[in-house]
Structure 1
Amino acid sequence: MSHEENHRSNRVGWLRAAVLGANDGIVSTSSLIIGVAAANTTQDSILLAGIAGLVAGAMSMAAGEYVSVSSQLDTIEADLAIEKQALEQDYEDEIDELALIYEQRGLEPILARQVAEQLMEHDALGAHARDEIGLSDTHGANPIQAAMFSATTFTIGASLPLLVAWVVPLALLIMLVAVFSLLFLAFLGAIAARAGGASMRTGAIRVTFWGALAMVLTAVVGQVFGVVA
């Protein structure tokens, strides 16, 4: 009977982007709302600041993810070009180089040479990209898709505290936005940890702590500047 293991490492890429986007959306927008509310302003002004923060944050996340992924792809393409040139100029040396890598991983020299030769016959550039450079996927992510995904998850996260600020009375706004945002963060952290196979409790505590810290700091800033004004 075959045994199939359920590995979770293939989820790391999209899980990181989703959690990062939603977490940033919740933390930045709720902190902004609490900071503005602590300055003793009107509910309309608070909502306007929250909406502005949502739009600016989503665009910032999209731009940042696009630049990051594009830069990563540029680096991958440059490395592959170097490796392709090396294969064209001295194929035998590249076999030796790959065989040495397999020897260092525990194969006998003769077997390492045979493995290197067979893998390079099948896909020389792919073998070196994977085992010499360390690229598990020579294609990489799509910058446009990464930007859209990051902006979408940020928007979803930011909409949650903004919705709370819209429906609650001004007198309870700071407390309820903080409470609901921390609950959202705890839920997000637990779900992300669950999907990644980690402790749900640890994941929830981790994101909740940093979210609470951000809210406290912005509330203090808003209170100080509100008093000064």
Structure 2
Amino acid sequence: MSHIEMHRSHRVGWLRAAVLGANDGIVSTASLIIGVAAASTTHNSIILAGVAGLVAGAMSMAAGEYVSVSSQADTESADLAIEKKSLEEDIEFEKKELAEIYEARGVEPLLARQVAEQLMEHDALGAHARDEIGISETGNARPIQAALSSAGTFTIGAALPLVVAWAVPLHLLIILVALFSLILLALLGALAARAGGASMMIGAIRVAFWGSLAMAITAGVGSVFGVVA
């Protein structure tokens, strides 16, 4: 009977962007809605603020992820260019360098040299990218993917408390939006933890705690400014 291991590291890139987008969408929009509602404004003003927050937040998430991951991609490209030039100028030094990396990991010197030579015959740049620089195929920066994933999941996350705010009466809006958002955050945290192979309970509690803190603080600010106004 064959033994198959299920690894999850290949999910890290898109999972991080997706979870971050959905989490921010729920927390920021729910907090905004609750803050505006706590300031004793009209139902229409609350919905308008929520829609504005959704659009602005989605664009901000997309731009932020694109710039961040693009910077990572630029750094990786620059490192690969340096390594490619070094391979062209002194291949023997690069073989020795790669062999020393394997020796440091516990491989015997002779075997380490053989492994380095064989890997470099197959793909010299790829071998050094993985083992010297730390760039792997599963971890390659993908700016467009990260931007679209963040913007899309932010929009979905933000739309959920917004729909609740639109559907419920004004006097129940704060409590129902907060309750519904906390349930969604707990589910999101649990699902993200399960996808990453971590504890679902810890993931749910962690996300719900910070979400509730954000909503409570925003509600307090809204109440203060509502009284002042």
TM-score (norm 1): 0.98
Residue number in structure 2 paired with 1:162? 162
Residue number in structure 2 paired with 1:15? 15
Unaligned runs of 5+ in 2: none
**1:24-173 paired onto structure 2 within 5 Å:** 24-137=24-137, 140-173=140-173
SS at match of 1:106: coil
Change (3 A) 1:211 1:127: same
Distance 2:194 2:112 in 1: 39
Counterpart amino acid of residue 18 in structure 1: A
Unaligned runs of 5+ in 1: none
> Moved runs in structure 1, 4+ residues, more than 4 A?
none
Measure how far apart 1:138 and its partner are: 8.5
Superimposed CA distance per residue, residues 30-55 of structure 1 (whole angstroms, 9 cap, x where no aligned partner): 00000000000000000000000000
**1:197-212 paired onto structure 2 within 5 Å:** 197-212=197-212
Measure how far apart 1:197 and its partner are: 1.4
Answer yes or no: is the 8 Å Cα contact 1:129–1:138 preserved in 2. Answer: no
Answer yes or no: is the 8 Å Cα contact 1:126–1:138 preserved in 2. Answer: no
Distance 1:64 1:92 in 2: 42
Quick one: percent identity of the two aligned structures?
Answer: 79
SS at match of 2:11: helix
Answer yes or no: is the 8 Å Cα contact 1:76–1:138 preserved in 2. Answer: no
Answer yes or no: is the 8 Å Cα contact 2:10–2:138 preserved in 1. Answer: no
Distance 1:179 1:118 in 2: 59
Residue number in structure 2 paired with 1:220? 220
Distance 1:103 1:58 in 2: 48
Q: Which moved more, 1:47-56 or 1:7-16?
A: 7-16
Measure how far apart 1:139 and its partner are: 8.3
SS at match of 1:2: coil
Distance 1:78 1:172 in 2: 55
Distance 1:9 1:110 in 2: 31
Measure how far apart 1:198 and its partner are: 1.3
TM-score (norm 2): 0.98
Measure how far apart 1:199 and its partner are: 1.3
RMSD: 1.1
Answer yes or no: is the 8 Å Cα contact 1:99–1:116 preserved in 2. Answer: yes
